[in-house]
Amino acid sequence: MILNNSADTEYEDYQQANNPMNSEERPDKPEEACGVFGIYAPGEDVAKLAYFGLYALQHRGQESAGIATFEGEKVHLHKNMGLVSQVFNESILDKLSGNIAIGHTRYSTTGSSRKRNAQPALVETRLGKVALAHNGNLVNTMQLRSELLKDNCNLVTSTDSEMIALAIAQEIKAGAEWLESCIRAFHRCSGAFSLVIGTANGIMGARDPNGIRPLVIGTLGNNPVRYVLASETCGLDIIGAEYLRDVEPGELVWITEEGLASFHWSQQPQRKLCIFEMIYFARPDSVMHDESLYSYRMRLGRRLAEESPVDADIVFGVPDSGIPAAIGFSQSSGIPYVEGLIKNRYVGRTFIQPTQSMRETGIRMKLNPLKDVLYGKRVVIVDDSIVRGTTSRKLVKALYEAGALEVHMRISSPPVTHPCFYGIDTDSQDQLIAATKSVEDIAKQLEVDSLAYLSWQGMVEATREDPQSFCTACFTGDYPISIPEQVKRSKLMLEGATV
């Protein structure tokens, strides 16, 4: 077994304490969830296929990555801090032999960004080892932790993901087999979870009854059929797998040498896909509702132009997530689309602190205005969201310094007024600019000539799906899953919200 978990935890604590991310330097976006990947493919190089699957899902988490493979009863595991391409190389992947692979790329939500919290979580059970990769966030973590500790479970990490794996092991200890133990464990979990679970017998994919986080099934080859699980269809495309269907809310799929079996473990599923997956998180080439998200995001931009027209010379998007909506805005308004900002796509998170003068120039490390394009122009800049407003303010300043005569900002989603409890790292409510300020006040703070957001109705109508099939709690405060008071108070600073 390869267990790459030997880092000195005292050094990790030191690094955490001495390299805090300045609040002004944090991305002005909700932070991505996580990416999960699983493959059952006897005869294939499953570790390498998992590597490329995670590579395609890198946008969902850039803090740690891991792959576990099953070679009969033997498990090989490698995980570490960093990007997928930093954590793995050819020699490491060669040691991850087997017919089954489970992969994960992480942005920390529950549990800090430390090596011990990297996934997949690996737990010993009566039936053998289980590896679990989790996208989402439980809201009953404290209750589940208390139950596990009463049974003397050994909690190695501070993640809710490990607790799900331990709950499965606990049910197995009580006498259940794999399938029954997982279903029993799921019933003990409240919140958002899309899971890929590896065992010596096969892999499972499961979603919570609301299907808040996505999970898709793909096929690889046809004689015999091999199955793949991934957070998004882009994780299938990269390895040549064909999209079969989504794992449904409240469904568990069990993939073994006998093929794929489906079990609807929840009797009352009610689909509530996180709409931010469609607006921002998922890659634009990923498919949801039988079309690419690029198409949906262009419709958002067209609707935005209809709702909030403006007299301007050029329109452009904040790379990369604002670009499709900006193109849609241009199509609907007739304002020419240009590239007004160039993104340095090789800038990742760094522990090297910039100088004060660099801080004052703001976002130039990641985004640089094209002065000759902007000079003397009235510009419309389109972005998908504003969370704190810190980056947006610096960006507007940079556009004026580049010679823009007017700057009009358009946002292709409604104001974010409530924090997420289901796997997205948003600030407490008092840090969300739209929770404390009106649109007019935000415009003054950003120093733009005008600011407009897309309406909630425009956002959901653009999906062409039932509006009630999405979680839009970050815009409305209407949380589909009941949140314990202790958890609620940690983020809902401005109201005694009823959930």
Binding site feature residues for Mg(2+): 321, 383-384
Phi (first) and psi of residue 449, to 5 degrees: -75, -30
* Three-state DSSP state, 380: strand
- Token pair belonging to 86: 């930093």
Largest CA distance in the chain: 73
Which residue carries 């796509």 as its tokens? 345
Count the residues in the chain: 499
Q: How many Å apart are CA 468 and CA 465, to the nearest integer?
A: 9
Active-site residue flag, 153: no
Which residue carries 């062409």 as its tokens? 464
Q: Is the dihedral of CA 102, 108, 113, 114 positive or negative?
A: negative
* Three-state DSSP state, 5: coil
CB count within 10 Å of CB 434 equals 23
Q: Which residues are annotated as part of the binding site?
A: 274, 321, 383-384, 420, 471, 474
Q: Which residues are annotated as part of the binding site for [4Fe-4S] cluster?
A: 274, 420, 471, 474
Which residue carries 């999405």 as its tokens? 470
Pairing of strands 74-81, 314-317: unpaired
Bond into 224 cis (ω within 30): yes
Q: How many Å apart are CA 367 and CA 379, to the nearest integer?
A: 16
Q: Name the catalytic one among 34, 153, 182, 234.
A: 34
Q: How many Å apart are CA 16 and CA 444, to the nearest integer?
A: 35
CB count within 10 Å of CB 365 equals 13
- Token pair belonging to 243: 């999209």
Which residue carries 């942005």 as its tokens? 107
CB count within 10 Å of CB 74 equals 13
For the CA atoms of 169, 174, 176, 182, what is the dihedral angle to 10 degrees?
-40
Q: How many Å apart are CA 32 and CA 292, to the nearest integer?
A: 19
Q: How many Å apart are CA 95 and CA 75, to the nearest integer?
A: 11
Cross-strand pairs, 368: 342
Beta strand spans in 59-199 (E)? 64-71, 74-81, 100-106, 121-125, 128-138, 191-198
User: Side-chain half-sphere of 103: how many Cα atoms within 13 Å?
Assistant: 34
Q: How many Å apart are CA 492 and CA 499, to the nearest integer?
A: 11
Residue 75's contacts (CB-CB under 8 Å, 6 or more residues apart) are 1, 68, 69, 122, 129, 131
Q: Which residues are catalytic?
A: 34
